[in-house]
């Protein structure tokens, strides 16, 4: 079972060791334009990517992978 990349294309937060996160925050603080673009991209994603129908479908897929299709 594999989970999809939550922010494909290099946008958004990544789960990495603390020193990498600190460097990423410093980069955002030093580059207001990058900060603005990432904020805009983040606000667009939820309505498009996280609908109730999609959430239910993806949850069902995970359950089927974990417990099988019941057949």
Q: What is the pLDDT of the chain when averaged over all its residues?
A: 75
Task: Note the pLDDT tens digit of each residue in 27-60.
Answer: 989 999 998 998 888 787 666 677 888 888 988 9
Q: In whole angstroms, what is the distance from residue 59 CA to residue 65 CA? A: 10
Do the Cβ atoms of 34 and 12 come closer than 8 Å?
no
Q: pTM for this structure?
A: 0.40
């Amino acid at each position: 079972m594999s989970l999809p990349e939550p922010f494909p294309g290099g946008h958004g937060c990544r789960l990495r060791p603390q020193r990498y996160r600190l460097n990423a925050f410093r980069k955002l603080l030093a580059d207001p334009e990058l900060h603005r673009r990432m904020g805009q991209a983040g606000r667009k994603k939820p309505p498009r990517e996280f609908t109730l129908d999609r959430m239910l479908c993806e949850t069902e897929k995970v359950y089927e992978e974990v417990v099988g299709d019941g057949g």
